[in-house]
Structure 1
Amino acid sequence: MLTVPRRKPRILVVLLLANLALLVLPLGGLWMLRLYESALVRQTETELISQAAIIAAAQRAAWLRAAGQDAAPQATDWAPRFASLDLAHDPILPPPPDAVPPEQPADPVARAAGATLAPVLAEAQRVTLAAMRVTDQAGVVVASTGSETGLSLRGLEEVAAALAGQPAARVRARREAVPAGADSISRAAPFRVFVALPVQAGDRVIGAVLLSRTPSSLRQALHGKRWELAALTLAMLIVAGGLAGFIAYTVSRPIRAVADQARAVASGARVEVRRVRRSAVREADELAAAIGAMADTLEHRAAYISDFAAAVSHEFKTPLAALRGALELLQDHGAGMTAQERANFLAQCMEDVQRLDRLVTRLLDLARAETPHPHDAGGAIIGQAMHDAAAPSIAAGLDIAFDGAPGTEVAIAPEALRGILTILFDNVRQHAGPGAQCRVVWAEDGGTLRLRVSDTGRGISGANRRRIFDRFFTTAREAGGTGLGLAIARSLAEAAGGALDLVPDTPGATFDLRLPVVPHA
């Protein structure tokens, strides 16, 4: 008996885990590829670019005033600067080198402009938390939020690029980690973003602006959106659970109903195969239909076996009872019987044994005929099979006339076709009466061979016509009939995809056999 392992999960659990896995995969991909960290870096870079642009414009204006020049606007063409840093391909550079004493003092004009800008930088740092430095054209710091004023930053790669007229942005490691909680204003990322922009007066570079800031860490960013993320996670879990429940309800409920019916049938109970509720997927409906058809077949098979067993026991009971009675008489009174009486009893016993032998042979033929087998069992030539099947009946004195194309090939095994025709000819010999003639006519009709076997005998009564194909029904039991011949013939025809029927309202008896014709290429 096939048992179902109890440790296997149900469809609901599998679907729920699958949905949760689909939810976790994108989050895991974001974490592994550091996409969100790159977004935080670019966000910080964008903020620093905006701040540096304003500081560069303010330094340019202050420098022009200190130099006694007109502070008219520069060129009116657009020069946007977009964030470009990406942790996926931009390396994290070492910490920046310390500022060093300059070879020459700072430019007096730049220093005067920086002095006016220093309070602005200090005030802005209170809001932006960014480190800000402004240098002259030689890289000497003229304004700073730190202690680098008067020192040179020209050795820093970003500053050197800005003094050459090229904006620059870099990611550098921090000198030391700063402990920072999730809600702290200090940021806990292990690196800082550096942005440098040139300060230009016309085509001349008069200095550089260097800003740096630590971007938000992934933990801090998620902490800032914790309530939104919690709400989103809850919503996704509800949706995932709802989808899993809906699919499990629409898929597993019909399967469970079918399983209950199958278990009832397997336990031997006779249950009505009812139509189960349709599911949302075709496979579940197909499974339900297949199980229902199987249960229906099993019910019919059980009824068939029950009826068949009753009929077989009835057919065997009569000859066995006669055989037993004759043997008991011979055993008890055989010594006082005459030789003729003993011979009569032994002849009766032999007749009963032969009848039992015929019943067993016919039952085996019926079992083979009703056993399912492929329809493509070969092909039979109608003329050859007709000759082989008719020969014994013709030898016994039956007059048979044939009318049809002998070369027609039908899709049935030759031995099966011979068996059907032999049964039909034997039926004419046993039931048509003395002097009856038989006529066989066949012709092809749209891919089907229609063959009719008719006789000129006394025919079949109306009551017997309804039972002619029933197993063990016969009116020639005294002549050795078993009542299985026509049942076997019909089963052989149906197994080949054909049919065998009794044609009503005809003189004598006429049987109509239909078989598929083998198509010719």
Structure 2
Amino acid sequence: MTKPRIRTVLLLVNLVLLALPLGGLWMLRLYESALVRQTETELVAQAAVIGAAYRVAWLEEAGAEAPSLLASLPVRPQPEGWAPRYATLDLARDPMLPPPPDAATPPDPASAVARAAGAALTPVLAEAQRVTLAAMRVTDEAGVVVASTGGEGGLSLLALEEVAAALSGEAAARVRARREVADVASSGSISRAAAFRVFVALPVRAGDHVIGAVLLSRTPSSIRQALYGKRWELAALALGLLAVAAALAGFTAFTVSRPIRAVADQARAVASGARVEPRRLRRSAVREADELAAAIASIAQTLERRADYIGEFATAVSHEFKTPLAALRGALELLQDHGATMSAAERAAFLDQAMADVTRLDRLTRRLLELARAEAPRAHAPERADVATVAVEAAATYGDLVSLSGAQGVTAAIAPDALRSILGMLFENVRQHAGPGARCTVAWSVADGVARVAVRDDGHGISAANAARIFDRFFTTARGAGGTGLGLAIARSLAEAVGGRLSLAPAERGTAFLLTLPAAG
């Protein structure tokens, strides 16, 4: 399973934190639409009751003339069976219309039947308004107000599209801006809290004819009122949001900060020189923290290996230097104490011994410098060496000791000087260890992107006990002949520095080394 990166975790956390207030705003807008639909539903229920009361009063007032009066009205077929009217307003979809136009003087007054039915209904509207706080109007079939809570009796509302739709047989609901937008309402106010009103108009039917319309309007409850009414619940929600934020912070600390802090503690221990035991840190949820922990563990192990290497190296160097230094010191002390009484031959012998020791120390020093350069990691530009050319140059100083064979054009990705040093150390190894009269052959080839150089001799070979140690620093069986035990170690380090390898190869007679190097393009 691929773990997310730190930036992904932080991005997700920030998106969640951003979504909290944005989601709250969206919920408030959604709740405001719910308040509008709730008001619309209440007005529809009230209008249905008022319309039913007006129809009963109109039919009673019309009496026997009802059939002829209805016959003079347009036919507006009504749906069969139940005809529920659901809330449809949505603040996100429906436009906010301007305030309703003022009532106008009608060309003809309302009929006597409509006026009588409206008069009987007016006290009912006035009493109901005290509870519902809605503005109520009832019009006749021509849109003339016959009952109202606002003193608009005898005026026409036909210019209002909601009334026109109701008189055509269709229910209508609209959201319109209030005229009194400057009024400031308290948290307990119902009718003065919002800057718009909900208008609902229902037709009043008698069979397939529309005998009037009921128009109701009211300001819905505002978000402020709703929030005030739910203040304790909102306080609990705020505490919940704080808990979510704290949980997100804890999640971030658990997945990012804590693992990085543990890695930092381990890095400080490494920097202070303490030996850090390799242990598995608690794995985190992000990739970078695991990569950093692995890198620190690798650094700690590398430093520990370097420290062990330096300790072993210092021990070996001190041992290698101790013998020639002790011999040199002894020779110089003897010359200092007894030089005057010695013969010329004795003084020459001691001086020759001192010079030999100095020469050995000089050789050791140079070899150590070569080893340090070979093992020191360093960046370098890609280099290439023609194996045939370098092999000829390296073998030039060894005369008949070396014979060469190999294809032309084999190029290895190594500096010519480095390849020359490797081959020279292998040739020197043959001269010092293969025995008198031994010869070596060098053959090279390239395949699969790898250049191979095989160096074989026909000498005494290497015993099984010594074969496992020939690449160890300071291991030599030719110390008396000037061997330092560093040549093969240097050669292997030079090969490994470019991604190659120097190894001991099986041989029926003598000794064989195989040098593999990356081939140059």
Q: Calculate the TM-score normalised by the size of structure 2.
A: 0.79
Question: Structure 1 residues 378, 62: closer, same or farther in 2, change over 3 A?
Answer: farther
Residues 1:23 and 2:26 aligned together: no
Count of aligned pairs: 501
Shift of 1:270: 0.9
Contact 1:199 1:207 in 2 (8 A): yes
1:177 to 167, 172, 183: 183
Q: Against the structure 1 CA distance between its residues 18 and 159, is the aligned structure 2 distance closer, same or farther, given a 3 Å change threshold? A: closer
Cα distance in 1 for residues equivalent to 2:11 and 2:78: 65
- What residue in structure 1 maps to residue 295 of structure 2? 290
Aligned residue in 2 for 1:367: 372
State the AA in 2 paired with 1:135: T
1:471–1:484 contact (8 Å) kept in structure 2:
yes
Give the alignment partner of residue 508 of structure 1, picking from 510, 513, 520.
510
With over 3 angstroms needed to count, the CA separation of the structure-2 counterparts of 1:362 and 1:62, relative to structure 1, is farther
Assess, with a 3 A threshold, how the Cα gap between structure 1 residues 414 and 79 changes in structure 2: closer, same or farther: farther
- In the TM superposition, what is the alpha-carbon distance from 1:515 to its structure 2 partner? 3.0
Answer whether contact 1:180 1:186 (CA < 8 A) is retained.
no
Matched, 1:75 2:78: yes
Partner residue of 2:122?
A: 118
**In the alignment, residue 315 of structure 2 is paired with which amino acid?**
A
Contact map agreement 2:204 2:212 (CA 8 A) in 1: yes
Q: Equivalent residue for 1:255?
A: 260
The within-5 A match list for 1:128-139 is: 128-139=132-143
- Structure 1 position 276, deviation (Å): 2.0
Contact 1:501–1:511 (CA under 8 A) maintained in structure 2: yes
Q: 1:457 aligns with which of 450, 456, 459?
A: 459
Per-residue deviation at 1:122?
Answer: 4.1
CA–CA separation in structure 1 for the residues paired with 2:127 and 2:120: 13
In 1: Cα distance, 2:473 partner to 2:214 partner: 108
1:189 paired to 2:194: yes
1:132-174 deviation per Cα after TM superposition (whole angstroms, max 9, x unaligned):
1112345432112343334454565655665677745232225
C-alpha spacing 1:66/1:380, structure 2 compared with 1 (3 Å): farther
- Tell me the percent identity: 65
> Please, which of 427, 430, 433 is the counterpart of residue 428 of structure 1?
430
1:37 counterpart residue number: 32
Secondary structure at the aligned position of 2:66 is classed as coil
Post-superposition offset of 1:336: 7.9
Secondary structure, in 3 states, of the residue corresponding to 1:69?
Answer: helix
Evaluate the alpha carbon distance shift between residue 74 and residue 14 of structure 1 in structure 2; reply closer, same or farther with a 3 A threshold: closer
Q: Which structure 2 residues correspond to residues 491-506 of structure 1 after superposition, within 5 A?
A: 491-503=493-505, 506=508
105 and 349 in structure 1: CA distance in 2 versus 1, 3 angstrom threshold: same
| Cα contact 1:16–1:241 (8 A) shared by 2 | no
Query: Residues 101, 514 of structure 1: CA spacing in aligned structure 2 closer, same or farther, 3 A cutoff?
Result: same
Give the aligned residue type for 2:174.
Answer: A
Instruction: Indicate how the Cα distance of structure 1 residues 93 and 325 shifts in structure 2: closer, same or farther if over 3 A, else same.
Output: farther
- What secondary structure sits across from 1:469 in the alignment? coil
Q: Given residue 257 of structure 1, which amino acid in structure 2 is its aligned partner?
A: A
Alignment correspondent of 1:4: none
Using the TM superposition, name which of 97-106 and 113-122 deviates more.
Answer: 97-106
| 8 Å CA contact retained: 1:375, 1:496 | no
2:175–2:196 contact (8 Å) kept in structure 1 = no
> 8 Å contact 1:85–1:170 — kept in the other structure?
no
**Secondary structure class of the residue paired with 1:388:** helix
Provide structure 2 residue ranges, at least 5 long, that are not aligned to the other structure: 1-8
Q: Displacement of 1:434 after TM fit?
A: 1.3
Within the alignment, does 1:269 sit opposite 2:266 as a pair? no
Output the CA distance in 2 between the equivalents of 1:317 and 1:22. Answer: 75
Q: Distance in 1 between matches of 2:323 and 2:97?
A: 103
Give CA deviations for 1:352-383 in whole Å, capped at 9, x if unaligned: 44434433332232223223356983443332
Query: C-alpha offsets along residues 443-483 of structure 1, whole Å, 9 cap, x if unaligned?
Result: 55655444432222223344433321111222333333222
In structure 2, the residue corresponding to 1:302 is in which secondary structure? helix
Return the letter of the residue paired with 1:195. Answer: V
Q: 1:367 to 1:61 in 2, by over 3 A?
A: farther
**Partner amino acid, structure 2, of 1:48:** L
Give the superposition deviation at 1:208: 3.5
CA contact (8 A) 2:173 2:198 kept: no
AA aligned opposite 1:26:
G
Q: Residue 40 of structure 1 aligns to which amino acid in structure 2? A: L
Shift of the 392–57 alpha-carbon distance from structure 1 to 2, 3 Å rule, reads farther
- State the Cα deviation string for residues 319-347 of structure 1 (Å, max 9, x = none): 45555666677777778877777766665
Counterpart among 307, 311, 330 of residue 312 in structure 2: 307
- Please identify, of 209-218 and 274-283, the stretch whose mean Cα deviation from structure 2 is larger: 274-283
Q: Does 1:419 align with 2:421?
A: yes
Q: 1:51 & 1:281 partners in 2: Cα distance? A: 61
1:383 to 368, 380, 388: 388
Assess, with a 3 A threshold, how the Cα gap between structure 1 residues 13 and 438 changes in structure 2: closer, same or farther. closer
Other structure's SS at 1:304 match: helix
CA gap 1:81/1:279 in 2 versus in 1, 3 angstroms:
closer
Paired AA for residue 121 in structure 2: L
Supply the AA of the counterpart residue of 2:480: E
- The CA distance in 2 between the partners of 1:380 and 1:61, in whole Å, is 114
Given candidates 472, 475, 486, the residue that maps to 2:474 is 472
| 8 Å Cα contact 2:36-2:89 kept in structure 1 | no
- What is the CA deviation profile of residues 213-257 of structure 1, one whole-angstrom value per residue up to 9, with x for unaligned ones? 111111222344455555555555555544653564355444333
In 2, Cα distance between the equivalents of 1:336 and 1:40?
125
The answer on whether the counterparts of 1:170 and 1:195 sit within 8 Å (CA) in structure 2 is no
Cα pair distance change 1:135/1:335, threshold 3 Å: farther
RMSD: 4.1
Distance 1:249 1:479, change over 3 A: same
Q: Secondary structure at the match of 1:93?
A: coil
Q: Residue in 2 aligned with 1:141?
A: 145
Q: Tell me if structure 2 keeps the 8 A contact 1:42–1:86.
A: no
Structure 2: how far apart are the matches of 1:302 and 1:66? 114
Inter-CA distance 99–494: structure 2 relative to 1 (3 Å threshold):
same
Residue number in structure 2 paired with 1:6: none
Partner amino acid for 2:35?
L
Q: Which amino acid aligns with 1:114?
A: G
Contact 1:402/1:440, CA 8 A, preserved across alignment = yes
1:168-205 per-residue CA deviation (whole Å, 9 max, x = no partner) reads 523222525353335x6556223322334455668876
**What is aligned with 2:491?**
489
Q: Does structure 1 conserve the Cα–Cα contact (< 8 Å) formed by 2:502 and 2:515?
A: yes
Q: 1:297, CA displacement in angstroms?
A: 1.2
Q: Within 2, Cα distance between the matches of 1:187 and 1:472?
A: 100
AA aligned to 2:186 is A
